[in-house]
Structure 1
């Protein structure tokens, strides 16, 4: 098992940075890659030209392999004009007023075309294309392989892992219920697919022949050693790196991670319209109490209009504070220190 993932992805150690949709930074991604792991950059909401610019910035920052991450379309995404946003707008109106902002008009589109995003990623030829929320189409896998790019899919159940492996992905991330951010289930309702990492990883390892990475609850050497004992070829770590100064998280965000105990995160649809794990704050509580949550991606677009300026003011009460159940173990403020701690777990395992 040792070395299989490293040889596949061209990395020195099987430590992968979790891709933060909307919170990725070139600095953190490049840092993890330069240290010998696989830095990942989340491209949620990026138009093709921005994808190309980001890939160029990453290549200028590191000559080591990195991954670009894309959210696949599930088919249930709503488009502008399809849903009545009166209730959801009213639920957050006070936040706009607090920030001195007017409620925004609906855009022509909530998200860029996914196929155009994927084409831009494939043109950029990263070492790895990672995807969430589904199985990549045959043309994506074939083109990636023709261009020397590995494809990594993300599963929250064994069935999803099998579907990804059958589609020809090169590796599968087994994402346990402890993980930060969105529950990226695609064959099941996310609320019914809350399998913990300790149960999910060995079952996925037994079910597929491709390398498996463990995600969810891994924040220090103990988590890495446990993941390896479960049969994982590597680990994906998000919250511990998000806590560091190299991430794009604000000071208030990082403080919220540091203050969150294992029972301090919740699963909510309040901020994006899809189920995600994070630290509950004023925005989450207010929106949930209103009962007015638009479907994805309308809700994510709406809250995003006040989240960005709130981040500029370091107002944690109005942010999406995505964090996993291992947040209390995320005690380092430097990505290099986190990486060294995780590598120590490879020796212990």
Structure 2
């Protein structure tokens, strides 16, 4: 099978297969494992402080023998609705008390959110060759700064209009995220709506409409799904959930087990945990927030309210009170080394040629 195309040439990789950047589960070890096998490992740093961003990049560099990318969150911080924030905090405090989960009150006055603007110089200084982003579009000046240094830019689109805007901005590669994808939706043109366009419909429409090569994301987990995406017009794929159960993943054991035993209806879309639409496995925290009928604060304010709960649940290996981000192909996730998962994807695809 001939793997070389526009994406492999742009990214200087052997196979057009990208490991999705998954904040909270992706590790430098996972990123390096995929890159060292000829794919593109992606390091998520969205919302992290510049010093932490630099440290993770250096850890990954020490392990990676091939290029890897870094992923940014390109959103703007919305205005805070204080009464809404307070109402949600009161509800979460009571929910935790009822379920023996320690809850640390969030001081809204002390909240500070890191933005991608503060991280850009770190990426430039570290000579990162590939920068991907989601939740929006980078500022024009920042796009130019990256372009001037030869950085390959990858943007995320969940609709055709979003893809056309990324094309207009001169983004090099467009990741087309279908509704099957796990984790946060990359939607940015209509923040409060939920595009429910599947990959089967979205990929050919975008691939036909834009000049840039397209990466398909959402539900990709084996050779057949990779082959299907390529037939639809994608030049490569992005794979996420399949790596969450890998040995290199930071996911707790109960999370990994939940993926492997997931039914086809457990993966749902919710704003409950972060304030942005995201796909994950339903659990008690999601269900209780939805049942409460309280307006959910916008991202990243809701993220800050649930962060302590999720962290405590992870310490307890409690899958009911944390985020179990996962796509619709969750049950296919296997507990193997990331390198083995990657090479299996390549082998399965080649066997179909």
TM-score of the superposed pair, with normalisation by structure 1:
0.94
**Does the 8 Å CA contact 2:104/2:308 hold for their aligned counterparts?**
no
Aligned to 2:285: 283
1:186 and 1:333 mapped to 2: Cα distance? Answer: 34
1:136 and 1:45 mapped to 2: Cα distance? Answer: 14
Q: Of 263, 266, 272, which residue of structure 2 is paired with 1:264?
A: 266
Aligned to 1:56: 58
**Does the 8 Å CA contact 1:174/1:201 hold for their aligned counterparts?**
yes
Instruction: Give the aligned length.
Output: 347
Aligned to 1:10: 12
CA apart distance, 1:70: 0.7
Question: CA 1:124 to 1:78, structure 2 compared with 1: closer, same or farther past 3 Å?
Answer: farther
Q: Which runs of 5+ in 1 are unaligned?
A: none
Q: Give the SS at the match of 2:70.
A: strand
Aligned to 1:327: 330
**Does the 8 Å CA contact 1:224/1:345 hold for their aligned counterparts?**
no
1:66 and 1:265 mapped to 2: Cα distance? Answer: 29
1:196 and 1:31 mapped to 2: Cα distance? Answer: 29
CA apart distance, 1:286: 0.8
1:13-57 alpha-carbon deviations (Å, 9 max, x no partner): 111010112322111111111111100111122011111111111
Alignment map for 1:30-179 (pairs within 5 Å): 30-74=32-76, 77-79=78-80, 82-94=82-94, 96-97=96-97, 98-106=100-108, 108-179=110-181
Q: Of 211, 229, 232, which residue of structure 2 is paired with 1:230?
A: 232
Q: Give the SS at the match of 2:287.
A: helix
CA apart distance, 1:310: 1.4
1:49-92 alpha-carbon deviations (Å, 9 max, x no partner): 111111111111113111111111245x245x745423211222
| RMSD (Å), alpha carbons | 1.8
CA apart distance, 1:228: 0.8
CA apart distance, 1:199: 0.6
1:174 and 1:17 mapped to 2: Cα distance? Answer: 14
1:146-198 alpha-carbon deviations (Å, 9 max, x no partner): 22321100000111111101101110000000000111111135644111001
Question: CA 1:90 to 1:299, structure 2 compared with 1: closer, same or farther past 3 Å?
Answer: same
1:239-266 alpha-carbon deviations (Å, 9 max, x no partner): 0011212111110111111111222111
2:192 and 2:207 mapped to 1: Cα distance? Answer: 21
1:202-226 alpha-carbon deviations (Å, 9 max, x no partner): 1111011111100001011111111
Q: Give the SS at the match of 1:69.
A: strand
**Does the 8 Å CA contact 1:261/1:325 hold for their aligned counterparts?**
no
**Does the 8 Å CA contact 2:269/2:280 hold for their aligned counterparts?**
yes
Aligned to 1:188: 190
2:89 and 2:261 mapped to 1: Cα distance? Answer: 30
Aligned to 1:343: 346
2:275 and 2:19 mapped to 1: Cα distance? Answer: 25
1:180 and 1:346 mapped to 2: Cα distance? Answer: 22
**Does the 8 Å CA contact 1:265/1:280 hold for their aligned counterparts?**
yes
Worse overlay, 322-331 or 117-126: 117-126
Q: Of 299, 303, 319, which residue of structure 2 is paired with 1:300?
A: 303
Question: CA 1:102 to 1:210, structure 2 compared with 1: closer, same or farther past 3 Å?
Answer: closer
